[in-house]
């Protein structure tokens, strides 16, 4: 219903509503100080959608770069973004050029599930979009990157190898086993760049290696079927955890952290 109604409403109204309710759907956004360092020079929002992350990052970072491939969403974000937000209409990947962005039937990108990786049961149409690498943007002092690209996470990270090595930013990455296996992303960040994952299943952060994310997502998959609108209006427990905070060099989240020893950790 939300996907059908959104195109009939003014884009600015939909964007404002999305920014208002999104912290209920993704509570990590309400705890942004625990993710993004206080001295953040540049923050990057990959897969910006209507801009709930870009807007809040703009109040915390000196510069925000929002990368959004859906043309009308990028235009809407640019028209309403704070002065320190730069919007780039493109898809982040591991090489520059063009690619097909896959969309569900009857959706222009408003549902936020468009992707460079086609899922036959979801995507039925495609549009050509420009592609770029994060390394190719010439960014400096990058301290935080949020990535929400529905299965194309690994190409985004491969296209940011130089940035990850130089700036060591915190990474907040949406990972869902129903879309793609998460092990390649976790292994790439751990083995090549020294990152460790953290999840927020409750009030405290828990190391990803002490939490079976795949099993959790299988057990709570019914929550995804409820849709964004229903999940916002009638929040349920257990929460469906689908994002991981990756920190390098032994860093830990700034908020409360659960001990990761003993059988209690996985519970």
pLDDT score of 257: 92
pLDDT score of 174: 96
* pLDDT tens, position by position, 70-86: 999 999 899 989 999 99
pLDDT score of 263: 42
Classify residue 114 by burial, with Cβ atoms within 10 Å: 0-12, 13-18, 19+. Answer: buried
pLDDT score of 102: 87
Contact 196, 190 (CB under 8 A): yes
State the average pLDDT for the chain. 87
- 126, β-bridge pairs: 102
Backbone angles phi, psi at 172, to 5 degrees: -120, 105
* pTM for this prediction: 0.87
Whether 186 shows a pLDDT value over 60: the answer reads yes
Taking phi over 0 as left and psi of -120 to 50 as alpha, with beta for the rest, 262 belongs to left
Structural domains in the chain plus CATH codes: 2-233 (3.40.50.150)
Backbone angles phi, psi at 106, to 5 degrees: 75, 10
Please indicate whether residue 149 or residue 23 has the higher confidence score (pLDDT).
Answer: 149
């Amino acid at each position: 219903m939300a996907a059908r109604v959104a195109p009939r409403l003014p884009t600015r109204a939909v964007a404002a509503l999305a920014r208002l309710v999104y912290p209920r759907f993704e509570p990590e956004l309400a705890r942004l100080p625990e993710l993004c360092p206080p001295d953040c020079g540049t923050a990057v929002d990959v897969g910006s959608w209507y801009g709930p992350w870009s807007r809040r990052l703009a109040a915390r970072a000196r510069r925000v770069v929002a990368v959004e491939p859906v043309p009308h969403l990028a235009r809407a974000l640019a028209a309403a973004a704070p002065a320190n937000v730069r919007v780039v209409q493109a898809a982040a990947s591991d090489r520059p050029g063009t690619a097909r962005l896959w969309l569900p039937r009857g959706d222009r990108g408003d549902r936020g599930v468009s992707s460079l990786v086609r899922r036959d049961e979801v995507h039925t149409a495609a549009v050509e979009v420009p592609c770029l690498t994060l390394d190719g943007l010439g960014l400096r002092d990058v301290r935080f990157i949020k990535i929400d690209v529905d299965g194309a996470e690994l190409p985004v990270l491969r296209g940011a190898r130089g940035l990850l090595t130089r700036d060591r930013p915190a990474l907040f990455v949406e990972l869902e086993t129903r879309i793609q296996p998460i092990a390649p992303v976790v292994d790439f960040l751990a083995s090549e760049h020294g990152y460790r994952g953290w999840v927020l299943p409750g009030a405290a952060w828990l190391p990803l290696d002490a939490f079976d994310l795949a099993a959790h997502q299988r057990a709570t998959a019914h929550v995804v079927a409820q849709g964004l609108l229903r999940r916002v209006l009638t929040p349920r427990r257990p929460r469906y955890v689908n994002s991981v905070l990756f920190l390098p060099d032994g860093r830990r989240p700034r908020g409360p952290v659960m001990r990761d020893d003993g059988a209690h950790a996985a519970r």
